[in-house]
Amino acid sequence: MLIEKNKVVTFHYRMSEPGHDVIDDSRKGNPVVYLHGYQGMLQGLENAMAGKQAGDQLSVTLTPEQAYGMRQEGSQQRISLKHVINDSKKKVTYKPGSVVQLNTEHGARPAIVIKAGLKTLDIDTNHPLAGKTLTFEVEIVGVRAATVEEIAHRHVHGDGGHHH
């Protein structure tokens, strides 16, 4: 089955900057699963996977514009710690350079800590990979038809059905 709109795609990837060490490798955990054609994936990566099938492997290099965008100057701000997602409920010590997840009106969003205070963080809201050219080594693990419900909701549902 070929990857096209309304197909659920499962894949592993290894991501790096050209000429540098691996930044992330999905083989250390679970593969990525997404619904093709609904902007649930980096557009450049989704475009490169179109027409592929299970078992195919490909290498894709994305410019910053095709990946996480260019860095935007002036994207630093001070926020209250109450906006940081902390699922452990334990006190966390934040250090400059660490990535945190923020609770925003548009869902969770990553940010980089610039400076940590007692009740606030100075953060950079650029995506941590903004401004970087990225290479993805991709292995397509599976392709299946999406369910009617997945298409209606524009995303994949977990094993056994609806999970949100």
Mean pLDDT in residue range 11-23: 95
List, in order of start, the domains of the chain with CATH numbers: 7-68+130-153 (3.10.50.40), 76-124 (2.40.10)
15: β partners: 24, 136
- pLDDT tier at 66 (50, 70, 90 boundaries)? very high
Helix (H, G, I), strand (E, B) or coil at 38: coil
> What's the N-to-C CA distance of the chain in angstroms?
28
- pLDDT digits 0-9 by tens, 133-152: 999 999 999 999 999 999 99
User: Residue 122 has which token pair?
Assistant: 């100075």
User: Cβ contacts of residue 130 below 8 Å, gap of 6+?
Assistant: 64, 68, 69, 70, 71, 72
**What are the distances in angstroms from CA 95 to CA 81, 90, 121, 123, 126?**
13, 16, 10, 11, 17
pLDDT of amino acid 163? 52
- Position 132 pLDDT exceeds 70: yes
Using an 8 Å Cβ cutoff, are 7 and 144 in contact? yes
| Model pTM score | 0.80
pLDDT of the residue at 79? 93
The set of long-range contacts for 94-101, using a CB threshold of 8 Å and a minimum separation of 24, is: 94/121, 99/128
Mean local confidence (pLDDT), 11-40: 94
Residue pointed to by tokens 């930044």: 23
